[in-house]
């Protein structure tokens, strides 16, 4: 049998994780944006080579991948909150059972 206090502590940890994820998830692509802002992308006028083309393609791909991860991160935060609620309900159930004197 699980301990209600342990379940509640775990629920608090899950809620804290969800909060951190929601607060910081938006910044996943900061490094990619910084690279795009501070380093030149290939162009006919400035820079053109096979490596430049690959650099640009991979940078765009990284940004797209991070946007996908960002959506997944938000879903993960939702999952953490749902699991926290489940653990709190289980703790409530266990406490209610313990409060009923044996027959």
pLDDT greater than 90 at residue 8: yes
Buried b (16+ CB within 10 A) or exposed e, 20-36: ebbeebeeebeebeeeb
Q: pLDDT higher for 43 or 87?
A: 87
pLDDT greater than 80 at residue 29: no
Q: Region 15-31: what's the mean pLDDT?
A: 84
Reported as a pLDDT band with limits 50, 70 and 90, residue 1 is low
Reported as a pLDDT band with limits 50, 70 and 90, residue 5 is very high
Q: Which of 101, 90, 96 is nearest to 2 (CA)?
A: 90
CA distance 83 to 86: 5
pLDDT greater than 70 at residue 46: no
32's CB contacts (< 8 A; 6+ apart) are: 59, 62, 63, 66
Longest dimension (CA), the chain: 87
Domains detected in the chain = 4-99 (1.10.287)
Six token digits for residue 8: 């509640």
């Amino acid at each position: 049998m699980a301990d209600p206090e342990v379940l509640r502590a775990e629920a608090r940890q899950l809620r804290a994780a969800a909060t951190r994820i929601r607060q910081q998830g938006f910044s996943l692509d900061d490094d990619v944006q910084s690279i795009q802002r501070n380093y030149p992308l290939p162009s006919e006028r400035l820079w053109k080579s096979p490596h430049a083309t690959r650099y640009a393609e991979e940078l765009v791909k990284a940004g797209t991948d991070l946007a996908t991860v960002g959506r997944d991160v938000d879903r993960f935060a939702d999952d953490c909150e749902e699991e926290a609620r489940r653990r709190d309900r289980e703790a409530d159930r266990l406490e209610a059972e313990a409060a009923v004197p044996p027959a």
